[in-house]
Amino acid sequence: EAGVTQFPSHSVIEKGQTVTLRCDPISGHDNLYWYRRVMGKEIKFLLHFVKESKQDESGMPNNRFLAERTGGTYSTLKVQPAELEDSGVYFCASSQSGLVKRTDTQYFGPGTRLTVL
Amino acid sequence: DAKTTQPTSMDCAEGRAANLPCNHSTISGNEYVYWYRQIHSQGPQYIIHGLKNNETNEMASLIITEDRKSSTLILPHATLRDTAVYYCIVVAFYGQNFVFGPGTRLSVLP
């Protein structure tokens, strides 16, 4: 079974440019999460999709960040325009539907390292 | 803020058991304890989780105290590849996002 995949693995852009990160969850997983780690800080939650719906986007830092999950499969996270403080590693995670389970395990992708110059 | 506290760092000799403690004194009855690790800059890797009973899988064992206020992750025979940052996370229910603390940096020494 393929794990969570993320593309690109690295991205270097200049301040003011736009970048789009992609996450492909494990097949059949309804839940998709975005997290990020900025330099020297802890991993922080950004948002959570259940299928194509945003369940919780309380961690999104500002309106320069836009996440989508069309069709409930892969997800994209767009940063427009990028700022220096957006540099960090962006992780995606997915988990199965919780219809019969009280808790589930999140499986993380390898991350996308974003550098804004 | 994370609901757990862990030592900042620990060392372990290769081949010995690594015992990583976690304090979660404010844990609620419906909260699970999850352990993940992050090797270098890779994505966090799931290790094990439990509610109140001790758990074991091919990677590790999880010992949860009877009052559930603390737990210990045990890597029975640590190898150099187990060098990583280990995170203890409490999660109340399905679909809740994880709150990561700084974790414990485990160094396995030859």
Residue A100 in this model has a pLDDT that exceeds 60: no
Q: Given an 8 Å threshold on Cβ–Cβ distance, is B95 in contact with A104?
A: yes
In the DSSP assignment, the letter for residue A86 is G
Q: Given an 8 Å threshold on Cβ–Cβ distance, is A50 in contact with B44?
A: no
Q: What is the pLDDT of residues A3-57, one digit of tens each?
A: 999 999 999 999 999 999 999 999 989 999 999 999 889 999 999 999 999 999 9
- Contact of B1 with chain A, judged by CB distance below 8 Å, is answered with no
Q: What is the pLDDT of residues B51-66, one digit of tens each?
A: 998 999 999 999 999 9
Q: In sequence order, what DSSP letters do the residues of chain B get, joined into one string?
A: --S-B--SEEEEETTS-EEEEEE-TT--TT-EEEEEEE-TTSPPEEEEEESSS-EE-SS-EEEE-TTSSEEEEEETT--GGG-EEEEEEEE-STTPPP-----EEEEEE-
Q: Given an 8 Å threshold on Cβ–Cβ distance, is A91 in contact with B44?
A: yes
Which of A41-45, B11-15, B75-79, B95-99 bottoms out in mean pLDDT, i.e. has the lowest? B95-99
Q: Given an 8 Å threshold on Cβ–Cβ distance, is A98 in contact with B94?
A: yes
Q: What is the pLDDT of residues B5-51, one digit of tens each?
A: 999 999 999 999 999 999 999 998 888 999 999 998 899 999 999 99
Of B41, B49, B100, the CB nearest to A105: B49
Of A4, A102, A107, the CB nearest to B94: A102
Rounded to whole angstroms, the Cα distance separating A50 from B95 reads 8
